[in-house]
Amino acid sequence: MTNQEIEKIECKYLHKFYYLMKYVEDEMMFGFQTKEEIKDDWIGKYDSKISDFAAGAERIIYSLFNGKGVGQPNSSPVGSDMFFEVNDAFVHIDLKTVEADGNIGDYNKNIFVGINQNSYHSEIKQANGKSFEPKREYTPALPTFYNRGKSNEKICLSYFITILYQKENLNILNINISCMPNGELESYYKSRVLSAGKLKNQARFNFTKVSKFELLENKASRVKVVYFDNNMKQEFKDKLKFFENIRSSNICI
């Protein structure tokens, strides 16, 4: 499979998942609000080490995907929270929720990715493009192709759904879905895909540095904006210009 063919299949499924999310947008937003009906029974009684909204949001997103029969769920212990097989690929989708006040900088340029969520093996460089000392090599757990060399070989695809919300009321400000390049594309994108995480063995997906399918003729976006709250605070809007500018140009072939 050529690099261009890889980008075509990545783009095809990004297109499918984006329109699935737009199709169920009303159900999704209603689902996010169901917490309000029983708020008195849960408020202040949960552990918020990661995200006040994460667990509930995951239930809604994953139930909608599974309910639409997107693919055959796979039981492998190595993979994203949602991992399934379709006709021509194995697909990993992970949900990231970020609280806007104080953490928006962890959302609008790059996102944390786990080694079980991607196949991109590459060097992680500093923001200035120079190598760390010693050099940092990032090794993910996923293969670029499952069953490589066998009759049932299929490509591994990685997608991330990101949700930005306000902690004070858990209102949603922005929902996106993005496609992280398959590891075979390292021959083209090199180290641009990754930026350093908080720890040496961690990495972040630098989606603003590789925001398009650069090998496709129409240079379609690798990021699709599912929801954008036009009534959010202007200070948030100013920091989300990247997403606001691309929300109307999400076209794949």
What strands lie across the sheet with 203-205, from one edge to the other?
111-113, 203-205, 194-196
Q: What is the pLDDT of residue 168?
A: 75
**Is residue 61 situated within a structural domain?**
yes
Q: For residue range 6-24, what is the model confidence (pLDDT) as tens digits?
A: 999 999 999 999 999 999 9
CA 49 remoteness from chain centre: 21
Q: For residue range 70-124, what is the model confidence (pLDDT) as tens digits?
A: 889 888 988 888 999 999 999 999 999 898 887 888 799 999 999 999 999 999 9
CATH of residue 110's domain is 3.40.600.20
Count of the separate structural domains present in the chain = 1
pLDDT tier for residue 153 given thresholds of 50, 70 and 90: very high
- Averaged pLDDT of the chain: 89
pLDDT at 40 over 80: no
- Please classify residue 229 by burial: count the beta carbons closer than 10 Å to its beta carbon, then call 0-12 exposed, 13-18 middle and 19+ buried: middle
**Is residue 171 situated within a structural domain?**
yes
pLDDT at 46 over 90: no
**Is residue 219 situated within a structural domain?**
yes
Which range marks the domain in which residue 24 is found? 3-246
Tokens of 202: 């961690």
pLDDT at 45 over 80: no
Taking the C-alpha atoms of residue 113 and residue 160, their distance in angstroms, rounded to an integer, is 9
